[in-house]
Structure 1
């Protein structure tokens, strides 16, 4: 009977190469943060994550929710109408009115002109008489040519609550304003952790007129944010591409990597060199900046962060011995009912610990080995075949 119990328990866990013991279970609901060392052996999409509980003859699979704690952004468009458009020797003015005082923090402007470099002042008022400064000497820019199509016409500012907003433009020619989208953006910050890197190598390629930065991380971990320390003696705006290594392979020139895109955009002196992208697990990044005929930027370091992956688990029986299993390339994502009743999960959860990685002793999937692992056997087989062919050929010729 004991042997049958052990076999039954192993039958559920024997397809997973690795396990980590879970300790501290003392209630139904708990949360666990995935350790950094887990990512290199788990499937990229986490389809193979399983939690099993064992208590004597019983083995149960525990339902869970995997959460990525990234930023949540909500953009709400605000209804405003343009009531005035005027000018004086100091510039051109556009006034917008809402039905009541309302809070906004962003205005997106669209102009008919393509190439411009203007200064903007933004004021707010509740009576259209007394004005209060919100932005002063704020620069907007548009550049369109064979190499670049870049626009920076978004006004971002702290939450401001007024009935009237006035945009003042300093320009040598009259701007042709096509549209002004006024909105309020709310961002709930996610949970990030700093990502350490081993190397930060900058190479300026004069032939291709680009700068390539290779960043090697200490471990394969989630990355969702990059900030560059980029400096120049003059204003700049250049194309930037961020890629991550998907796989490596050996060649005569050493180890080479295949890359996939994370982000494509612009690095500019007008905006902070900060980039957000989908949380991606990798151990290597490549950043390419197109310099064209310009002097390369001075790049000294980077700041990397990644969103935390957290598991929310429902332990129906805290008396079991629980462990997290993974390392099954053929596993498919589990389907648990708790994802349909997420609103019933308590808001405050106790965090519990995941132990060190260990080989799963129940793992019993055997790797199929080739018939002939040694090349000597292949040569012997070829020699036998050649000898047989020669003998039959000689016999036919003799007859």
Structure 2
């Protein structure tokens, strides 16, 4: 009987240690709303949470009351594309194609479309464009007045297709005007429409804007140095600028990310991205994904007066996780573990895209675990406490030893009888 009790106690300790092992090392948690019905849920990840995550989201987990991981799938809606899309060629004319603008008039033979694909010869250049619709090719109505075209070179072949997604429209004609800013135009081979090119959520989602940044600017010679500091390591993949000082301008700008703690205007770090800032652009730029707390913007003014950077905003496209959650159970997100790696769940091979019909479950603010926020204060002259604890432990061990010896002697006497 005594042996069974010891085995049960040992199993309980092992299970407790295993549960704790799945949450150890995580610095923050976020409580999820109550699950009122069992099923799949989408959980949005706002800046208040992503500021505590690595940029690959490998240190994000959903846990239940027992501290055990609950499988989830990570989603990047704006980049999710259906693999088996069917493309249809669209008729078009090109009334203008020069270093100022490239204009495309597209004929829509279908009733409703929500995307137009530009088949472009491989290039690393980027351009902004506008999209309008018309029923008579004379009176035009805006659909989107700021679209970044950033084609990714095809892994095989010499051309790739860049899709412009927009709300479903039934205009008979569409007009795309690409702003070339006195640079060579794209070579556009064809224009297509895809039956399922981009997930519907791509044009419905809006970017998260991060909290305001601090700006320090230094103008020296022909260069303007701008240091931008975020309040926390918020994720961002877009930046927007508010400039003043000169009415007409077109200048090269470089974005740098510091490497290590030793950085300055003269040593800004590693080049992340280069782009052109001009008065006839939206001054909104897509940049490689980053969570740098500090970054530098270097503007080449040449022989012109420097620009004044009034405001810098960083934004990030929304990210979600999808998980199957049970009714009336309590769940929370745990995050912030530098040693964490990607979990391997069966769910990633079963459920691969977000559906509009899935309910959205909100997450609370990030809260630090208590064990990570406790500060141990040094106490002077506390050796007597340590020695007292050691003697107490030795005394208890001595009592157990004496008791065990007595029980062994008693058993020997009983056996001899």
TM-score normalised by L of structure 1: 0.58
CA distance in 2, matches of 1:25, 1:2: 33
Which protein has the bigger strand share? Answer: 1
**1:141-156, aligned counterparts within 5 Å?**
none
Q: Deviations over 1:299-346 (max 9, x none)?
A: 311233223333222225744x54433444333201212222326976
CA distance in 2, matches of 1:60, 1:327: 17
Q: Give the conservation status (yes or no) of the 8 Å contact 2:92–2:191.
A: no
Instruction: Look up the SS of the partner of 2:296 in the other structure.
Output: strand
**Can you give the 5+ residue segments of structure 1 that lack an aligned partner in the other structure?**
86-93, 111-121, 136-156, 168-175, 363-399
What is the alpha-carbon root mean square deviation over aligned residues? 5.1
Instruction: Look up the SS of the partner of 2:347 in the other structure.
Output: helix
Name the structure 1 match of 2:146: none
Residues 1:223 and 1:19: Cα distance change in structure 2 (over 3 Å): closer
Size of the alignment, in residue pairs?
305
Name the structure 2 match of 1:154: none
Q: Give the conservation status (yes or no) of the 8 Å contact 2:48–2:365.
A: no
Which protein has the bigger helix share? Answer: 2
CA distance in 1, matches of 2:207, 2:291: 14
Q: Give the conservation status (yes or no) of the 8 Å contact 1:222–1:307.
A: no
Residues 1:311 and 1:292: Cα distance change in structure 2 (over 3 Å): same
Q: Deviations over 1:273-310 (max 9, x none)?
A: 11123443232232222112222223311233223333
Instruction: Look up the SS of the partner of 1:197 in the other structure.
Output: coil
Q: Aligned-pair distance for 1:63?
A: 0.4
Q: Aligned-pair distance for 1:269?
A: 2.0
Q: Aligned-pair distance for 1:71?
A: 6.8
CA distance in 2, matches of 1:64, 1:54: 16
Name the structure 2 match of 1:17: 26
Q: Aligned-pair distance for 1:25?
A: 3.1
Among 308, 315, 327, the alignment partner of 2:325 is 315
Name the structure 1 match of 2:340: 331
Q: Give the conservation status (yes or no) of the 8 Å contact 1:212–1:289.
A: yes
Q: Give the conservation status (yes or no) of the 8 Å contact 1:16–1:325.
A: no
CA distance in 2, matches of 1:177, 1:284: 34
Instruction: Look up the SS of the partner of 2:234 in the other structure.
Output: strand
Instruction: Look up the SS of the partner of 1:5 in the other structure.
Output: helix
CA distance in 2, matches of 1:270, 1:199: 26
Q: Give the conservation status (yes or no) of the 8 Å contact 2:58–2:341.
A: yes
Q: Give the conservation status (yes or no) of the 8 Å contact 1:17–1:360.
A: no
Among 114, 132, 142, the alignment partner of 2:138 is 132
Name the structure 2 match of 1:43: 54
Residue 230 in structure 1 maps to residue 239 in structure 2: no
CA distance in 1, matches of 2:104, 2:287: 36
Residue 64 in structure 1 maps to residue 72 in structure 2: yes
Residue 196 in structure 1 maps to residue 211 in structure 2: yes
CA distance in 2, matches of 1:12, 1:47: 19
TM-score normalised by L of structure 2: 0.56
Instruction: Look up the SS of the partner of 2:349 in the other structure.
Output: helix
Q: Give the conservation status (yes or no) of the 8 Å contact 2:256–2:271.
A: yes
Residues 1:82 and 1:218: Cα distance change in structure 2 (over 3 Å): closer
CA distance in 1, matches of 2:74, 2:54: 14
